[in-house]
Chains A and B, each alone.
Chain A
Amino acid sequence: MSTSNMPLPVLKPNDYASDQEVRWCPGCGDYSILAQMKKTLATLQLPREKVVFVSGIGCSSRFPYYVNTYGIHSIHGRAPAIATAIKVARPDLQVWVITGDGDALSIGGNHFIHAIRRNVDINIILFNNQIYGLTKGQYSPTSPLGKVTKSSPFGSVDNPANAISLAIGCEATFVARSIDVYTSHLQYVLRRAAEHRGTSFVEVYQNCNVFNDGAYSYATDRQTKADHVLELEHGKPLIFGKNRDKGIRLNGMEPEVVELGKGITADDLMFHDEKAEEPTLAYLLSRMRYPEFPEPIGVFRDVERPIYDDRINQQLVQAREKRGPGDLNALFNSGDVWEVNE
């Protein structure tokens, strides 16, 4: 990205930290995501001025203040639209959207859908804590049915939204999931998201230890996590479990959990293909939820499709090639023009 021949100083994770005090609650999962992001940026050695973080409203959306790059902390739900324009205007920048379950799936649902279906080259990182944290604990669009909160004392009657299913339904070209405390996995997923051209969507399970503590304990408790989380690997069979003795087999179009051995081998299992043309299997994976199934993490889907910002900018180039650069004088004087003399 630099034209200089001088060797650039190597950027370390902390070089991406701003001078602002981080103000999330102690113990919040957001700290880990911030740390993994800084490591990822350092791994990619992205010049700080080439990175823009755009966020909406919510706890997660304070993120841009804490990184020493460019950033906009915008209004509720609108970050994908702002990011779209920044990327179209400046394709040389790497643009990240930091959002939450309320921000992306509730108030900003429309922009989320349309950024993804356009396949703008931005990275959307959704911190899913299944609660409204900043407004002090109301149920969110990803809270489970029956969730008791301040605004749902008799239990939430809303069906929860499935972020990954939704993204796939919007023709997402990159879809992944990770968990705040899975530090190296999260770094890996963030790096993959950064490397993908087109909209990258990453859902991060994030613990809100103040208003929704333990929402993901099934996936993070040392004792149980291996049985409740399935790490996706491209080209590999879907195996999980503490002893790696369980797998996912397709029974027609229905996935089922099977035990390996007793005549069932890895070859009988479903194999993961993140490059599959059709998103059918990725969608099927997104439907696997705790407790019936282990929940997949990793890259669900990573395919190449034409990119919105490329297309817009190509149209400008093509129009210039076809009609010549715009000439205002010629435009003004085209068509029916008349002269008035003294």
Chain B
Amino acid sequence: MATPTPTQTSQRVRELVEATVRFAGDSGDGMQLAGTQFTNTSALAGNDVATFPDFPAEIRAPRGTKAGVSGFQIHFAARDIFTPGDKVDCLVAMNPAALVTNLSDLVPGGLLIVNRESFDRNNLQKAGLESNPLEDGSLEGYQVFPVDMTTLTRRAVEGTGLSTRDADRCKNFFALGLVYWLYNRPLEPTLHFIESKFSSKPAVAEANRRALMAGYNYGETTEAFASQFRVAKAKLPPGRYRNMMGNQALAWGLMTAAHLSGCKLFYATYPITPASDILHELSRHKNFDVVTIQAEDEIAAVTMALGASYAGCMGVTGSSGPGIALKAEAIGLAVMTELPMIIIDVQRGGPSTGLPTKTEQADLLQVLFGRNGECPLPVVAARSPADCFDVAIEAWRVATRFMVPVILLSDGYIANGSEPWRIPELEQLPPIPVHHPDKPNNGQVFYPYKRDELLARPWALPGTPGLMHRIGGLEKEDVTGNVSYDPHNHQKMVNLRAQKVANVAKLIPPVEVEGPEKGKVLVLSWGGTYGACATAVKRLQEQGQEVAHCHLRWLNPFPANLSEVLARYQRVVVPELNMGQLLLLVRGRYLVDAQGINKVQGKPFTVGELVEGIERYL
């Protein structure tokens, strides 16, 4: 039974253009769930949203410790936004460790809601605190709201038959209810969620419902809060929307490309953070004729993808940096055999195992150059969670058109972040033409390496009578595809493979610039830093600065007009979550004295950092 949202009474309501809320607690506290619910509700209420979940690498670090803190940040606004927000306006801290690890991101004077009862000696000690910040005056600069969440939640769920332990697990819904009240959000979406999610456990459903209501009513009745806030609807382009996470968008993009091309999607992978959700999502959709294989290792995954492509499917494999390193030799085989394939790299902090749950952009040079021999291939990068959908389709289009493996870069920030996605009209998406020959291409003979005008070779499938041929990793003779050790042939084939990849630039659109056509500074970005860079440049432009923004979708080949665009500005600035990888390429390729803004802290750029970094060149 859905309970209607209580009508709001005497409280004062303040209008905001945007707000940022972060839920932080122990990894067992259900903060990701609370965050996701708040996101969906805000999106349904018509805000633009951008989210940033942040979880520990350990599945269950010791309770109450700083290592175990899990957070979820939501930026929601009445205008269009591109980032989850630099600073937090409202922080919910379920325990002292969550407070300590998150407080520095709270704006001065920001709202701080804490579960007072968790601030006992034991938890304070685990958080490394000598005194209780709720009592020692250290939180003076904030609006602190200590709430006895444990007791209030227990009381609310009394009579549902839940054990105390289970009752305590409803605390996240209490906190969520309270924040809903604070930001004047409707309860219905979460009530519906509870109903369907716990339909088989009515007692749990009832307890969560009560906890949510209790939190909401607490805000309503206690008068502890001076005011409520309201964030009006954003003016998004008209259409139907849903909230979308990056990995989900990738999965759906692949499924859509399969539909558009008539090729079966064959996803072979090995579980790895933060790419596994692509596998989870795809394996749910077998009725779409999607094959998913959890292979024995990363190398099996990529070679299975190659085998599937050879047999006429689109072989796709997904991983993160460490797995991509293992796949390198097989990717080289795909380059040599000129088979279409998609390799997804959801980047994370490196090197080695690095920071599995944190984001970074430090695999660019690996995917471009991390193979033996002259081994170029197209590389495309998604810029936001929803963009993953389009990028997957583009990668598929290029892979099949050029008979080439394509690397698709995402990152942990995009993969787990979310934003509204405008649902496309399926019928309006252009088809991806794919051709498999059924007769010889040279009289009675079939030449597997005879190329078309863009240098793609034919995709002849095993099972086709008369086209039997052999491919492999040894150098191929031009046209016939027979093994050849001829020195001039090798030079020719290396050139052909490179030219084929260069030809991709004939199909991809030229880069566009946001801001002045020429002038002082051009900010050049790629991948998941798009939102922060776009916002920072906009802010500087509003201050009257002569700065423009150019974002690269294709990292190989570069768009045909890039050289000319770079030349129009006195200074090119390249912000990256690595130590200067695109920077190296741009400087080397175009001989421009570009400068980097670089950070490798496992976290995305804040807009403030970028504004400051770019200002140095203005």
Report whether A90 and B304 are in contact in the complex, using a CB–CB cutoff of 8 Å. no
| Interface locus among A137-145, A199-207, A329-337 | A329-337
The bracket for how many chain B residues form the interface is: 35 or more
Q: CB within 8 Å of A: which of B330-347? A: 330, 332-333, 337
| Interface locus among B64-72, B120-128, B232-240, B576-584 | B232-240
Residue of A nearest to B329 (CB): A75
Q: Answer yes or no: A20 CB below 8 A from chain B CBs.
A: yes
Q: Could you give, for residues 223-236 of chain B, a 1 whenever the CB lies within 8 Å of some chain A CB and a 0 otherwise?
A: 00000000000001
| Interface locus among A62-70, A124-132, A176-184, A236-244 | A62-70
CA distance A316 to B305 in the complex (A): 18
User: Which residues from A are CB-within-8-Å of B330?
Assistant: 75, 78
- Residue from B44, B239, B473, B482 in contact with A74 in the complex, judged by beta carbons closer than 8 Å: B473
A-B contact count (CB 8 A): 198
User: Which residues from A are CB-within-8-Å of B474?
Assistant: 73
Q: Could you give, for residues 37-59 of chain B, a 1 whenever the CB lies within 8 Å of some chain A CB and a 0 otherwise?
A: 00010011010000000000000
Report whether B296 and A111 are in contact in the complex, using a CB–CB cutoff of 8 Å. yes
Q: Answer yes or no: B617 CB below 8 A from chain A CBs.
A: no
Q: Answer yes or no: B406 CB below 8 A from chain A CBs.
A: no
| Interface locus among B149-157, B161-169, B280-288 | B280-288
Q: CB within 8 Å of A: which of B228-260? A: 236-243, 252, 255-256, 259
Report whether B240 and A337 are in contact in the complex, using a CB–CB cutoff of 8 Å. yes
Report whether B307 and A86 are in contact in the complex, using a CB–CB cutoff of 8 Å. yes
CA distance A315 to B292 in the complex (A): 11
Q: Could you give, for residues 65-90 of chain A, a 1 whenever the CB lies within 8 Å of some chain B CB and a 0 otherwise?
A: 10011111111001001111110111
User: Which residues from A are CB-within-8-Å of B332?
Assistant: 75
- Residue from A50, A64, A88, A331 in contact with B472 in the complex, judged by beta carbons closer than 8 Å: A64
Report whether B304 and A84 are in contact in the complex, using a CB–CB cutoff of 8 Å. yes
Q: CB within 8 Å of A: which of B490-516? A: none
Report whether A110 and B296 are in contact in the complex, using a CB–CB cutoff of 8 Å. yes
| Interface locus among A35-43, A212-220, A294-302, A319-327 | A319-327
Report whether B462 and A74 are in contact in the complex, using a CB–CB cutoff of 8 Å. no
User: Which residues from B are CB-within-8-Å of A84?
Assistant: 293, 304, 307
Report whether B471 and A89 are in contact in the complex, using a CB–CB cutoff of 8 Å. no
Report whether A315 and B482 are in contact in the complex, using a CB–CB cutoff of 8 Å. no
Interface centre among A78, A81, A340, A342 (most CB of B within 10 A): A81
- Residue from B255, B300, B464 in contact with A114 in the complex, judged by beta carbons closer than 8 Å: B300
Report whether A85 and B266 are in contact in the complex, using a CB–CB cutoff of 8 Å. yes
Residue of A nearest to B339 (CB): A72
Q: Answer yes or no: B189 CB below 8 A from chain A CBs.
A: yes
Q: Could you give, for residues 305-318 of chain A, a 1 whenever the CB lies within 8 Å of some chain B CB and a 0 otherwise?
A: 00000001001101
Q: CB within 8 Å of A: which of B462-494? A: 462-474, 482-483
Q: Answer yes or no: A154 CB below 8 A from chain B CBs.
A: no
Q: Answer yes or no: B310 CB below 8 A from chain A CBs.
A: yes
CA distance A322 to B308 in the complex (A): 26
Q: Answer yes or no: B299 CB below 8 A from chain A CBs.
A: yes
User: Which residues from B are CB-within-8-Å of A316?
Assistant: 286-287, 289-291
Q: Could you give, for residues 84-106 of chain A, a 1 whenever the CB lies within 8 Å of some chain B CB and a 0 otherwise?
A: 11101110110000000000000
Q: Answer yes or no: B268 CB below 8 A from chain A CBs.
A: yes
Quote the shortest CB–CB distance from A341 to chain B (angstroms): 6
Instruction: Return 5 A-B CB contacts under 8 Å, by A number.
Output: A72-B470, A74-B473, A85-B305, A88-B293, A110-B296
Interface residues, chain A, with chain B CB atoms under 8 Å away: 18, 20, 47-50, 52, 54, 57, 64-65, 68-75, 78, 81-86, 88-90, 92-93, 110-111, 113-114, 312, 315-316, 318-320, 322-326, 328-329, 331-333, 335-342
Shortest Cβ-Cβ A-B pairs, 8 listed: A73-B472, A326-B288, A85-B307, A319-B286, A82-B307, A70-B462, A89-B311, A85-B304
Given contacts A336-B44, A338-B241, 6 further A-B pairs with CB under 8 A are A65-B483, A86-B311, A88-B291, A316-B287, A325-B289, A336-B40
